[in-house]
Amino acid sequence: MKLFLIVITLALHLATFAQTTEKVNILYKEFSTPFGTVPFDKISPEDFMPAMQQAMKDGRLEIEKISNNPAKPNFNNTVVALEQSGRAITRISKILFNLNSAETNPAIQKNVREISPLLTEYSNDIALNEKLFLRIKSVWNKKDRLKLDTESYMLLDKSYKRFTRNGANLTKDKKDQLRGINKELSDLSIRFSENVLNETNEYSKHITDEKDLSGLPVFVKEAASAAAKKAGKIGWLFTLQAPSYSPFMQYADNRDLRKELFIAFNTRSAKGNKNDNKAIIERTVQLRFEKAQLLGYDTWADYILEERMANTKKIVYDFLDDVKKYAEPVALKEMAELTAYAKTLGFPEDSLQRWDATYYSEKLKKEKFAINDEILKPYFKLENVLNGLFEVTNRLYGLTFNKNSTIKTWHEDVVAYEVHDATGKLMAIWYGDYFPRPGKRAGAWNNTLQSQWVENGKEVRPHVVNVCNFSKPTETKPSLLTFFEVETLFHEFGHALHDMLAQGKYSSVSGTSVAWDFVELPSQLMENFVSEKEVLKMFAKHYETGEIIPDELINKIKESANFMAGVGTVRQLGLGLIDMSWHANKPMGKTVTTVEKEADITHRLYPEIEGFSVSTAFSHIFAGGYSAGYYSYKWSEVLDADAFDLFKEKGIFNKDVALAFRNNVLSKGGSDKPMELYKKFRGREPRTDAMLKRSGLLITP
């Protein structure tokens, strides 16, 4: 019976292939490259649209076959068949969006603008397909009698909710209304991120008087001089890209220039010009609310949180309020101490402005701990950090990494690796993309070009991408990372491990396809290793002298880790509260100004600034998947602190703990409820005290 099915499936595949051979382009075919990796050298922007159209045509045929199957619906012929449909669509989308984030240009952006609405339409067509829904529903209704394993049950649950949460139970009129809302939301989100990218790229500050560089470390001046030279200018050029902007705010003595750059950065897409995002935000929030109501939820947050580990608004607000209770008094105390310190250096006003805080923090930190980025950076040459990361991963999970230069990438700076486990099995292909360029989004992230699944007994291994924006090597220096950047690199790699070690049957519940407030556990757990002496000694070597980082510096890193932790926590809670304020209520004429006044609790730490806006460049919630979910960063800190406590208790490289984490979390993806997976690893539910203690927020009277 099984064999017969395989033959039929194969025949169908071949038939589809024969029909379409004359139209195929490079993107549509299975890639005949090492490990089936994407042939980036052969793809041109013109390939996307025709390949996608063909892929969608095939996908629709597959869906039709499932919907019109004369056989009675069962788990395999309906749920699994749906899971396995549209593979080419996913593959092409992943390549397109990877390029749009890491190496975009007007032609790629045009593809995204044209293809995104088609993707929305395609997924709406599935979600609103009555016949298909009835088949899924019929399987769902007998779920208790099917004796499915947990993973299959999770797939069924996800498949069923994919329909009901997208309006399968609505009348025809309301379905049409929902379709319109979804399409408009998709357009708005793309325009939001394009506006932020434009505003980031369009600004630069050209400095010609060397006096204005006072306070800046040599590496910052060198990078600014190189940027000016590249733009055909004399002097120094500063931009709003993190490696240029952040050190300027930390070190520049010139307060007026700090203010100018700060305002430029924090009024991105808020200036009322063509890149303004205010109207886009208000429309987005209104439409999200309407969508939630249409589907029977009170607000957008109710709709979103249904699928989370923290699954009600009350749990989220209680959690944020609870942490705020500890963090706010600490933050106010820190600001008072910082202001008093600034006054000893001649600061003339009563309160520090937002463009002063980082600058004086840096000086106070240096005085208190005699430590700063400049002292530490020579120990963190990118190549050394990567080798350290590989060694940590090897000791924990037995993985090895080998560069493979035959694998094509999207830019010459990107390096591809084969990742093998202790038995020699190929676990993944991993790409590292670490330097900024125009056309690459700011920030750091993890994504896949191919996820992991098993089909007809054949296992597909993942192709995983890590992207960061670290300083590029200059003529005189290699790429040297700040300590924060080292943590960022480990963080993204933690996400990559979640994808690379995935061991599931279905891609929809494999790897990082988990609840949003669970997805940061593996990434944040990896950050913990960076502060451990044993780990730093493995890779932190001075790039010129080869000297291993001295104990004294390691102790200072540890002592200084909680410096200004109260302020940092308040900032993060503020972002969580802004997000909830947009999404946990009726919009009722809310504007960027009113929301930020009410929700941004960092206002309690600084004087008010006219025109300052967090929301207009808050891509996480308006162009990413974090709406009604920003709280999850802090939430995951509770999980990772609690998880790492076990590593510390048993020894950070303890094989049993690492194996328990791998077997119950990393390899499991979304194949079970997050709380269940966590309890299997930890032996109990998570507790907040490890996080509060680690951050120095538990002040004992």
Positions marked active-site:
492
Give the nearer residue to Zn ion in terms of CB position, either 492 or 600: 492
Nearest-approach distance from CB 215 to Zn ion, in angstroms:
32
**Using CB under 5 A, which of the segments 56-64, 86-94, 242-250, 515-523 binds Zn ion?**
515-523
Which token pair is 150?
A: 């947990």
Which token pair is 570?
A: 């308040």
- Which residues contact residue 452 at a Cβ distance below 8 angstroms, ignoring those fewer than 6 apart? 459, 460, 461, 462, 499, 502, 503, 504, 507, 510, 511
CB of 77 within 8 A of CB of 40?
no
507 belongs to the binding site for Zn ion (CB under 5 A): no
Nearest-approach distance from CB 641 to Zn ion, in angstroms:
15
Torsion of CA 636, 508, 450, 663, to 10 degrees: 60
Nearest-approach distance from CB 467 to Zn ion, in angstroms:
12
Neighbours of 607 (CB within 10 A): 11
Q: Select from 501, 493, 464 the least CA-distant residue to 659.
A: 501
Give the nearer residue to Zn ion in terms of CB position, either 373 or 517: 517
Question: 420-451 burial, b if ≥16 CB within 10 A, otherwise e?
Answer: beeeeeebbbbbbbbbbeebbbbebbbbbbbb
Task: Tell which positions 370-399 bind Zn ion, by CB under 5 A.
Answer: none
- Element containing residue 518 per DSSP (H, E): none
**Using CB under 5 A, which of the segments 13-21, 501-509, 521-529, 565-573 binds Zn ion?**
521-529
Give the nearer residue to Zn ion in terms of CB position, either 361 or 627: 627
Give the nearer residue to Zn ion in terms of CB position, either 102 or 224: 102
Give the nearer residue to Zn ion in terms of CB position, either 507 or 523: 523
- Main-chain dihedrals φ then ψ at residue 459, nearest 5 degrees: -90, 130
Between CA 187 and CA 179 the distance in angstroms is 13
Between CA 364 and CA 142 the distance in angstroms is 64
Give the nearer residue to Zn ion in terms of CB position, either 277 or 523: 523
**Using CB under 5 A, which of the segments 190-198, 517-525, 579-587, 598-606 binds Zn ion?**
517-525
Measure the N-to-C terminal CA separation of the chain; round to a whole number of Å: 71
Coil/strand/helix, residue 359: helix
Q: Could you tell me the maximum CA-CA distance found in the chain, to the nearest angstrom?
A: 84
**Using CB under 5 A, which of the segments 49-57, 121-129, 516-524, 664-672 binds Zn ion?**
516-524
CB of 592 within 8 A of CB of 616?
yes
Nearest-approach distance from CB 519 to Zn ion, in angstroms:
7
Between CA 608 and CA 623 the distance in angstroms is 27
Between CA 66 and CA 68 the distance in angstroms is 6
Question: 559-581 burial, b if ≥16 CB within 10 A, otherwise e?
Answer: ebeebbbbbebbbbbbbbbbbbb
Nearest-approach distance from CB 665 to Zn ion, in angstroms:
15
Give the nearer residue to Zn ion in terms of CB position, either 250 or 523: 523
Across 445-509, where does the E strand assignment appear? 445-450, 453-455, 458-460, 463-467
Nearest-approach distance from CB 691 to Zn ion, in angstroms:
16
Nearest-approach distance from CB 528 to Zn ion, in angstroms:
14
Q: Select from 360, 285, 306 the least CA-distant residue to 161.
A: 306
With CB atoms as reference, the residue minimizing the distance to Zn ion is 523
Nearest-approach distance from CB 446 to Zn ion, in angstroms:
7
Give the nearer residue to Zn ion in terms of CB position, either 478 or 568: 568
Among 124, 250, 523, 616, binds Zn ion (CB under 5 A): 523
Interface residue list for Zn ion (CB under 5 A): 523
